Structure 1
Amino acid sequence: MNSTRKRKMWRQTAAAVLSLSLILPAALPVSAATLTIGGNPIDRAKEVLEKLERNHVSAPDAQKLSDVAIQAVIKSLGDPYTQYFTPEQLDEFENSLANRYVGIGVRVSQQPDGVYVSQVFDGPAQKAGIKVGDVIVKAGDETVIGLPLGEATAKIMGEPGTEVKLQLLRDGESLDLTVKRAQIQVPVVTGQKFDGNIAYLRVTSFSADAAEQVATMLDFFKSQGEIKSLIVDLRDNPGGLLDAAKEMARLFVKEGTLIHTKNRTGQDEPVTFTGGQTQPFPVHILVNGGSASASEVLTGALQDYKAAKAIGTKTYGKGSVQNLIPLDNGGALKVTVEEYLTPNQRQVNRVGLEPDIAVEGGQVPELLTALRTAGLATISLELNRINLTVNGHAVEDSFRVLREDGQTYVPARVLAAVLGAKVEWNADAASVQLSSADGAVTYTPDGAGVKLQDGISYVSLAQAAEAFKSLSWSDDGRLLKLSGSAK
C-alpha cells in the first residue's frame, strides 16, 4: 500500500456500519516487543506455514495459510472488535464505512410473496421506475419468492455497470424492468419536521461528514420557522468516527469532556472539546440495543451535560476504541486500543447506557413516545402493508397487524403509544390493561378482543374504540388508519 493510499484511508474512513466500531483517525505504532516474547514465535510460525505449503497433501496456498493464521491470532485475543482485513475485505470495509454499496438503490424487506421495496434512493431503481410498494418476484430467470433475504438480494446485486432483469408485482399486476447496477451512496442523515415545529433527524452512522449534515439540516429547519423541540434518532446506529461524535456534541454543548479513555497502561487521557454551542429547545435522543460505540459516546455526553434526554431501550454497550492500522502488503488491522467512560465516569463497555425514558414494545412505540414527549398532541398513523406514515410523514419503522374473524388487532403497546396510555400487565389475572385519562380497557387471554402471538399482545381496535373517546380508526384490509390524542 503506497503512502497516497494510506493518507486516503485515514482521510476517508467513516462509520463502521458492519462492525460496531469507534475509530480513531490515525494509527498507533505496534511494539515489536509484544510479538517476540518467549523466543522467536514469528520465525516459528513462518517456518510452520512454509513447511505446510511444501509438504501437505492438499498443496495449500501460502496466502490462504497466512490469512487463516492471522485470523487465529486475532481470535486468540478474545476481542470481537479487533479484526484483520485482507486487501479485498478492506475495500469492502471502506465502502461500508462510507455507506457506499453496489446495487440498484432500494431498501427491501422479506415478505411471503417476494422482496418488498420499502424505500427507493436516488439512483438506478428510481430512474427505471421502481416505486415503494413494489414486490420483486424474479431476478433474471430466478425466483426470489421464499428465499432468505440475503440470498434474494445477492441475486439482485452485482458488478457496477451490469444489468439485472426484474419482474415485479405492482397493485396485483406484473411488471418487467431492466435496471443497471451502480455504486449507491446511502444518505447518512435524513430528517423531517412534524406538527408543532418538532424537528426529527435520523443519523445512521458517524461518518466523516455526519456532524456537518446534522448542522446543515438543523439550519434548514430553523429557516422554516421556530423549532420547539428536536429528536435525534440513533437507533441501530453502530458507530463510526470519534471525531464525528465530538463535532456533533459541539452542536449541543459549549465545551467539556467527551469521554475519558483508558489505554493499555491504565492512563486516563480525556477527549475534550471547545467552541461549541447550545440549542434553545429540548433535545431528545432515541436509542435502542443497536445504538453502539459513537452513538453511545454522544448519548452519554449529552446525558451527563443535561443537554438531552435519551428515550428507548438500553444501548449496546460497546465502550472501546479501535485504530485502523494499514499493512505494508495490503489489508489492515482494526485494533482495540482504548476503553472509554462517559464525562461523569459512567461505564459503557459491556453494560450499555440506560435511557431516561424507557419504552417497551419496539420501534413504533419508541418513535411515538419520543414524538409525544417532544410535544405532539395528536398522533395519526397510516399503515399500507409495511409502509407507515406518522402525521403524514413516511418513517422507517413499522408494526404488524392481525386481521382475523372480521376484527383488526394491533400490538397493545402501539395502541397505547398512539393514545398516550399506560400498559399494565396483571400477572395474577393474566390480563393486560390500557388506561389513560381518556378511558381504560382490560384484556384477558380467554376474553374477546385480544390475541397473543409470538409473545406480543394484539388488541381489538373495535373494542378499544368503545373505551377511548379520542380513538378513531378504519381498515379496508389493505390500508389501516389510526389516530388518537393524549388527554
Structure 2
Amino acid sequence: MNIEDKNPDLKSSFQKGLITGLLICSLFALIFLFVAKGGIHPVQKQTETDQTSGDTQVSMSDIEKKLESLESLVDEYYYYSDDMDTSAIADKVYAAYIAGLEDKYSEYYTADEMQKRMESINGSYCGIGAVVSKNEDGEITIILPYENAPAANAGLQPGDIILSIDGTDLSGMELEQAVTLVKGEEGTSAVFKVRRGEEEFETTITRQQVNVPTVSYEMKEGNVGYIYISSFEMSTPEQYKNAIDDLLNQGAEGIVFDLRNNGGGALDAVIDMLDYILPEELLMYVEDKFENRKNYYSEAECIDETLPMAVIINGNSASASEVFTGALQDYGRAKIFGTKSYGKGVVQNLIPLNDGSGVKLTIAEYFTPLGRNFNNNGIDPDETVELPDESQTEAYDEKGYLKEGYDTQLNAAVSYIQSQIAEK
C-alpha cells in the first residue's frame, strides 16, 4: 500500500498503526487457524508467565506489547522508516512465526509463492523445467532437467549447483524461496550462476510453460516393462495408468517402477496409483497428534495380482515414494532394489488463507500397512545395489548420466523380473 503524505509525522504514525495491526492480526489469525483445525485444544487463559511449566510461556499480550515496543523504536530511530514496505514486513513476520516451529517441512507462502506452489502440484508451471533440491550442504542442486525444457536446452546437468539467479545469492535460502526465483513469467529470462565440480559459469535461461511429464516408460529386454516416476502430482495417476496399460498391451510380463530421485508429492495421487496394482486391502494409514487414525484402502479392481514387480529407490526417494514402496514391500508384491530411502514419514497439509497466501503444516505421520513409520529412518531395500562410483569415468557420459548398461540398480531389477517371468 503506497501512501503519499507531506506530513511525515502523520505518515509515520499511520505506518506504525498499520504494521502493528497487521502483525497482531496475523498472529491471532494463525492461532485461530490451529484451533479451528484441531491443532490445539482451547484451554483456560494463562497468566503472562506460567511458572509451573518450568519454561517461560509467552502470552499474546506479551507479543503484542513487544511488537508495539519494536514499532515505536523503528518509528523513532530507524533511518529508512519512510521507505518501509509494510506488506513485506508482515510477510516476514508470518514466515518467522512458522519458522519458529523448527519443523523443516512446515512453511509459510506469500500469495505469489502459493500460486506457484499450486501450479506445481497441478503439474503445470512457468519456469526452466528442472527438479531442484537441497544437497547436504544446503545448496540448491539440479536433480533432473526435463528433456527439451529450458534447463536441459541450456546445458544444465544433474548435480549442478545453482549459486545465484540474476545476482541474488541462493546461499542459505529456503528451497521454496529459491524455486520462486527459478519460476517467472513466460518469456522472461534470468542469468543463472552455476557450479559444476570446480568450475563456475553463467548461463541465461528463458522461462517457458512447462507441463511436467512425471511418468516415462519403455519396454526392456525380455518383456520387462520399465516405468520411471519423477514425482507424485495430481496429473501423475493418469500418466501412470496409461503407461502400465500400454506396456501390458505391448506384451510386458513384469514391471520395474523406478522411484529414484522422486521426492514425493500428493498423497491422493500415490493412493490412486497403489489402488491400480494392489487388491482390496489396507494401503497405508496416518495418525495425528491426538492418535486419530485414518486408513486408506484399495478399492478398485487391480491388474493381474501375479504380475512380477520391482521397485528401485535411493536416498532421494522420499515421502509418497516411500508410501508406494512400503506398501508393495509389506505385501511382498515387489522386490525393492537400490539404496535406503530418504526417510520422510510425515504428512503436510497445504492450507490456503483468505488473502491468497498459504501455510503448509505437518499434521500427521505416515505408516505402512504393517505399521512401519519410516520418518528419519527410511526404507531399506530388499537388495542393496550401489551405482558405479564417480571415479569410474567410463560409466558416465559428459553430461553426468550413466551410460547404457552401467546402471547397476536397473540391471539388477530387470534381471530379477526376467527370472520371475522365466519361472512362471
Same fold by TM-score, threshold 0.5 exceeded? yes
Residue-pair matches, total: 325
Structure 1 residues 154, 311: closer, same or farther in 2, change over 3 A? farther
Measure, in 2, the Cα distance between the counterparts of 1:351 and 1:417: 24
Structure 1 stretch 68-77 or stretch 28-37: which is displaced more?
A: 28-37
Alpha-carbon separation, structure 1, partners of 2:112 and 2:191: 28
**AA at the equivalent of 2:400:** I
Q: Do the aligned partners of 2:145 and 2:151 also contact (CA within 8 Å) in 1?
A: no
Task: Check whether the contact 2:285–2:367 (CA below 8 A) recurs between aligned residues.
Answer: yes
* SS in structure 2 at match of 1:192: strand
- Report if aligned partners of 2:123, 2:235 keep a CA contact under 8 Å in 1: no
Task: Note if 1:245 corresponds to 2:263.
Answer: no
1:319–1:104 distance in 2 versus 1, CA, 3 Å = closer
The 1-side partners of 2:204 and 2:100 are apart by: 48
The structure 2 residue matched to 1:52, chosen from 70, 92, 98, is 70
**2:165–2:191 contact (8 Å) kept in structure 1:** no
Does the 8 Å CA contact 1:253/1:305 hold for their aligned counterparts? no
CA-CA distance at 1:46 after TM superposition? 3.8
The 5 Å alignment of 1:73-88 reads: 73-88=97-112
Label 1:417 to 1:274 Cα distance change in 2 as closer, same or farther (>3 A).
closer
Match of residue 150, structure 1, among 162, 166, 169: 162
Specify the alignment match of 1:471 in structure 2. none
Alignment-derived partner of residue 429 in structure 1: none
Distance 2:388 2:346 in 1: 27
State the alpha-carbon separation in 2 of the partners of residues 106 and 69 from structure 1: 31
Answer yes or no: is the 8 Å Cα contact 1:314–1:352 preserved in 2.
Answer: yes
Match of 2:222 among 180, 193, 196: 196
Counterpart of 1:346? 372
Structure holding more strand per residue: 1
Contact map agreement 1:252 1:307 (CA 8 A) in 2: no
- Specify the alignment match of 2:24 in structure 1: none
Distance 1:245 1:333, change over 3 A: same
Aligned residue for 1:323?
A: 349
Q: CA deviation at 1:316?
A: 1.3
8 A contact 1:49–1:65 mirrored in 2? no
Matched, 1:235 2:264: no
Deviation at 1:277, TM superposition (A): 1.1
SS in 1 for 2:293: coil
- The letter of the residue matching 1:93 is R
Give the CA deviation at 1:82: 1.5
Where 1:258 maps in the other structure, the secondary structure is strand
Give CA deviations for 1:198-226 in whole Å, capped at 9, x if unaligned.
Answer: 111111111112122111011111222x2
The correspondence for 2:404, drawn from 371, 374, 390, is: 390
Q: Does 1:360 align with 2:378?
A: no
For 1:135 and 1:77, the matched residues in 2 are separated by 35
Match of 2:136 in 1: none
Gaps of 5+ in 2: 1-34, 49-58, 133-141, 168-180, 193-202, 416-424
Q: Is the 8 A contact 1:221 1:227 kept in 2?
A: yes
Contact kept, 8 Å, 1:283 with 1:309, in 2: the verdict is yes
TM-score by length of 1: 0.57
What is the TM-score with the length of structure 2 in the denominator? 0.64
Structure 2 Cα separation of the partners of residues 219 and 186 of structure 1: 20
Shift of 1:267: 2.9
Q: Distance in 2 between matches of 1:121 and 1:211?
A: 20
Q: 1:38 aligns to what?
A: 46
The residue type paired with residue 204 of structure 1 is S
User: In the alignment, which residue of structure 1 is the partner of 2:37?
Assistant: 29
Query: What SS is found at the alignment partner of 2:216?
Result: strand
Aligned residue in 2 for 1:92: 116
Alignment of 1:86-485 (within 5 A): 86-103=110-127, 121-122=147-148, 149-151=161-163, 159-162=185-188, 181-224=207-250, 226-279=251-304, 280-361=306-387, 383=397, 386-390=400-404
Gaps in structure 1 of 5+ consecutive residues: 1-26, 109-115, 137-147, 167-176, 365-379, 398-412, 421-487
SS in 1 for 2:218: strand
Distance in 1 of aligned mates of 2:362 and 2:191: 44
Question: Cα deviation per residue 1:160-199 (whole Å; 9 max; x = unaligned)?
Answer: 2246899xxxxxxxxxx99863222231111111111111
Contact 2:337–2:412 (Cα < 8 Å) also in 1: no
Identical columns (%): 32
CA distance in 2, matches of 1:417, 1:296: 20
Measured against aligned partners, the alpha-carbon deviations of 1:384-413 in whole angstroms (never above 9, x if no partner) come to 55354426xxx9x7xxxxxxxxxxxxxxx8
Change (3 A) 1:274 1:329: same
Question: Residue type of the partner of 1:38?
Answer: Q
8 A Cα contact 2:348 2:364, kept in partner: yes
In structure 2, the CA distance between the partners of 1:159 and 1:288, relative to structure 1 (3 Å rule), is same
Please report how far the alpha carbon of residue 327 of structure 1 lies from its aligned counterpart in structure 2 after TM superposition.
1.6
Q: CA RMSD in A?
A: 4.1
- Whether the aligned pair in 2 keeps the contact of 1:264 and 1:338 (CA below 8 Å) is yes
SS at match of 1:270: strand
Q: Which secondary structure does the structure 2 equivalent of 1:277 belong to? A: coil
